[in-house]
Amino acid sequence: MENATQDTLWRWLERHAQDTPEAAATIGPTGTTTYGDLAGEVRAVAAGLQGLGLKKGDVVAVQLPNVEAYVVAFLAVTACGGIVQTLHMPYRQAELGHLLGHSKARMAIGLSTFKDISPAAEMLRLGADLPRLERVIAVGGPVEGAVSFGDLLQTQSAPDLPDLTPDDPFLLLYTSGTTASPKGVPHAYRGFLGNAARSAEQLGIARGETMLSVAPYTHLYGLFVMHMCLATGATQGLLPGFDPQAFLPLLSEMKPTGIFAAPAHFAPFCAAGKIGPDHLAATRFTCLSGSTVPPALAEQVDDLMENGDVIQLWGMSELQAGTFGRTSDPRQSRLTTAGRASEATELRVVSGEGDVLPAGGEGELQVRGPSVFAGYLDNAAETDAAFTGDGWFRTGDLAVLDGDGFLTLTGRVKEIINRGGVKYNPVDVEAHILKLDAVEACAIVPYPDPDLGERGCLCVQLRDGGSLTLEAVADQLNAAGIAKYKWPERLEIIEALPQTPTRKIMRGTLKQMIA
Examine the fold and report which residue of 124, 156, 188 is the final residue of a domain before the chain moves on. 188
DSSP result, 127-139: GGG-TT--EEEEE
Determine, yes or no, domain membership for 301: yes
CA distance 184 to 225: 21
Q: Yes or no: say if 472 and 499 are a contact pair by the CB < 8 Å rule.
A: no
Whether 151 and 277 share a structural domain: no
Examine the fold and report which residue of 362, 390, 412 is the final residue of a domain before the chain moves on. 412
Whether 37 and 66 share a structural domain: yes
Determine, yes or no, domain membership for 472: yes
Examine the fold and report which residue of 363, 397, 412 is the final residue of a domain before the chain moves on. 412
DSSP result, 65-97: -SSHHHHHHHHHHHHTT-EEEE--TT--HHHHH
Instruction: Report the run of H or E that residue 38 belongs to, with start and end.
Output: helix 35-51
User: pLDDT tens digit string along 359-388?
Assistant: 999 999 999 999 999 999 999 999 999 999
Whether 68 and 139 share a structural domain: yes
- CATH number for the domain harbouring residue 487: 3.30.300.30
Whether 263 and 319 share a structural domain: yes
DSSP result, 175-203: ---SSS---EEEEEHHHHHHHHHHHHHHH
User: pLDDT tens digit string along 334-355?
Assistant: 999 999 999 999 999 999 889 9
Count of domains observed in the chain: 3
Determine, yes or no, domain membership for 366: yes
Whether 376 and 333 share a structural domain: yes
Whether 281 and 392 share a structural domain: yes
Whether 420 and 300 share a structural domain: no
Residues 6+ apart with CB under 8 A from 228: 196, 197, 199, 200, 203, 205, 211, 234
Q: According to the model, what pLDDT value does residue 153 have?
A: 98
CA–chain centroid gap for 260, Å, is 10
Range of the domain at 454: 416-514
The predicted model gives 7-21 an average pLDDT of 97
Whether 375 and 449 share a structural domain: no
CA–chain centroid gap for 200, Å, is 17
Determine, yes or no, domain membership for 195: no
Q: According to the model, what pLDDT value does residue 407 have?
A: 98
83-86 and 169-174 beta bridge pairing: parallel
User: pLDDT tens digit string along 180-224?
Assistant: 567 999 999 999 999 999 999 999 999 999 999 999 999 999 999
Whether 257 and 347 share a structural domain: yes
Q: According to the model, what pLDDT value does residue 90 have?
A: 84
CA distance 133 to 417: 42
**Residue 179: pLDDT band by 50, 70, 90 thresholds?**
very low
Determine, yes or no, domain membership for 202: no
Mean pLDDT across the chain: 93
Closest C-alpha among 236, 87, 260 to residue 171: 87
Q: According to the model, what pLDDT value does residue 92 have?
A: 86
Whether 265 and 184 share a structural domain: no
> Which of 105-119, 141-155, 207-221, 409-423 is least confident?
409-423
Whether 252 and 284 share a structural domain: yes
Determine, yes or no, domain membership for 149: yes
CA distance 340 to 325: 6
Whether 368 and 438 share a structural domain: no
Buried-exposed string 432-458: b where 16+ CB fall within 10 A, e elsewhere: bbbebebbbbbbbbbbeeeeeebbbbb
- CATH number for the domain harbouring residue 183: 3.40.50.12780
Determine, yes or no, domain membership for 41: yes
Determine, yes or no, domain membership for 236: no
The model's pTM: 0.85
